[in-house]
Amino acid sequence: MRVVSIMACLLVAGRPAARPVRKTCRPPPRRDSGPGPLRLQPGPRSDRHRTMTGRPVDRLFRRPLIPRPAVRRSIRRQLSRSDEVPMPDDATPNFAFPYIMPSQAQKHLTHNEALRMLDAVVQVGVADRDLVAPPADAANGARFIVGAAASGAWAGQAGRIAAWQDGAWAFFAPREGWLAWVADEDALLAFDGAGWVPALGKVPIQNAPLLGVNAAADAVNRFALKSDAALFSHDDVRPGSGDMRVKLNKAAAAGTASFLFQTGYSGRAEFGTVGDDRFALKVSADGATWREALRVDNATGGLSLAAEARTAAIRPAADNTSALGGSGARWSQIWSANGVIQTSDRRDKTEIEALDPELAARLVDAVEAVTFRWIEGGRDAAEGGTVARPGRRRHAGFIAQDLRAALDRQGLDVAAWGLDDPADPTSRHWLRPDQLVALLWAALRETRQRVEALEAAAQAASSA
């Protein structure tokens, strides 16, 4: 009622009158038992605005008309209860800000409460969205999104915006479409009607000129990613075909489509189609000088090794541990400018014994050299794989089973023959020609000794 009295005086003061008005406008005396908490205090004198009695009205109040804390808490409770949202005839439809009604007393209460609601829900920036209990050191005006299963003063307010205002918590139920910035996550969230979700989570990124994930993209690296790991998986949502392919496309054969591996942003390895359409693997020790380790011809599938290397182009990872090929995966031919080099250092051997030349000669007599044609001379490419073809030419050689039988008869066990699976006597047999050379060498020495003896005897007979 005090506000009404003051406003009435001001209206009278501003209305033209036919005769001087001698009535003075002054605040009525303060009543301690009055219903309102208003304390009207005249401000400093002003020469620009005066009442008809000469009293200043500029800056009539030293501080805003603020309802008492108990009244504020009561209004907040009414406004924050989702089951008692004011009807559109006394509140705004979207934010439920209370209207000032024509016959309402102490209108400043409604007005100031609406200002506080505006301060809480406009340009929402919350400090956190995971807390389940109110912080003890919240600053005035601090806002939070209440976490699930909240307790204490936040009990039953999960998902709502909690604002610490004038020593009390105020809660505001979000509406679909509200946005909130979460400071501790640097994330923008949107309320979808059921909960808070990433605001950009459903926005497709199409034709974006730059994209940086934890890194800054630029005109050269239009997509930049800094991460300990990256996952590319097949589509199991729509779902897709179950496949996963990464495609690198270049404009012309002379270009490059490759993966480059770096250490300290200096290149160390690269593979792809570099400079032409053949697949290549290159390595570098300093990022400046590159050596080609292998190249695969895109027309024939032929593999070229170490085009620039001079020694040890290909070698096993450990000495004397790996085989090249196998009895079931044989090379059809080996082309070489020089023969196979075998290490034969005395320091690597033990239990060295001379081979009996007579025994070697008996083995030569027992094993017959043969000619033959392979049942499967090779395999030809065909649709869906390869097909076997019979051998065409005759070959000269030995039969592993014959050599095995001869060695068994002589009681000699040397690695001139063997089984693909030592535990299976019916598995494929093999021969080692280098071992046969030693047997032939011993037999040849025996033969030479006999020839020399015969020549000596013949010369002695002719002399006599």
How far are the Cα atoms of 362, 371, 439 from residue 403, in angstroms, in the given order? 12, 15, 11
Domain count within the chain: 2
Q: Which domain holds residue 269?
A: 256-305
> Are 371 and 433 found together in one domain?
yes
CA–CA gap between residue 128 and residue 143 (Å, rounded): 8
Domain finish residue from 288, 305, 322 = 305
Pair 379, 296 in one domain: no
What pLDDT shows up at residue 339?
82
332 lies in some domain: no
How far apart CA 378 and CA 390 sit, in angstroms, is: 7
CATH of the domain at 397: 1.10.10.10
pLDDT at 106: 73
Q: Helical H runs in 303-384? A: 357-366
Q: End of a domain among 283, 305, 327?
A: 305
- pLDDT tens across the length of the chain (464 residues): 444 444 444 444 444 444 444 444 444 444 444 444 333 334 444 344 443 334 343 333 334 444 555 555 555 555 454 444 444 567 666 666 676 777 777 776 667 776 767 766 778 899 999 999 999 999 988 999 999 999 999 999 999 999 998 899 999 899 999 999 999 999 999 999 999 999 887 667 788 899 999 999 999 999 999 999 999 999 888 777 889 999 999 999 999 999 999 999 999 999 999 999 999 999 999 999 999 999 999 999 988 887 666 666 677 888 888 888 887 888 878 888 888 888 889 999 999 999 899 999 999 999 999 999 988 877 777 777 778 888 888 999 999 999 999 999 999 989 899 998 889 989 999 999 889 999 999 999 999 999 999 999 999 988 87
Residue 419 domain-assigned (yes or no): yes
Name which of 152, 200, 192, 195 is nearest 176 in CA terms: 192
pLDDT at residue 458, as a whole number:
92
- With respect to residue 285, please indicate whether it lies within any of the assigned structural domains: yes
Asked if residue 421 belongs to a domain, the reply is yes
Closest CA to 361 of 419, 284, 301, 447: 447
Does residue 398 form part of some domain? yes
Is residue 209 a part of any domain in this protein? no
Which of 274, 290, 305 terminates a domain? The answer is 305
Same domain membership, residue 435 and residue 370: yes
Whole-number Å distance between alpha carbons of 203 and 206? 9
pLDDT confidence of residue 385: 75
Residue 40 lies in a domain: no
212 found inside a domain: no
SS3 of 3-21: the string is HHHHHHHHHHHHCCCCCCC
Cα–Cα distance for residue pair 402/366, rounded to 1 Å = 8
Q: Give the C-alpha separation, 290 to 276, whole Å.
A: 16
Helix, strand, or coil (residue 162):
strand
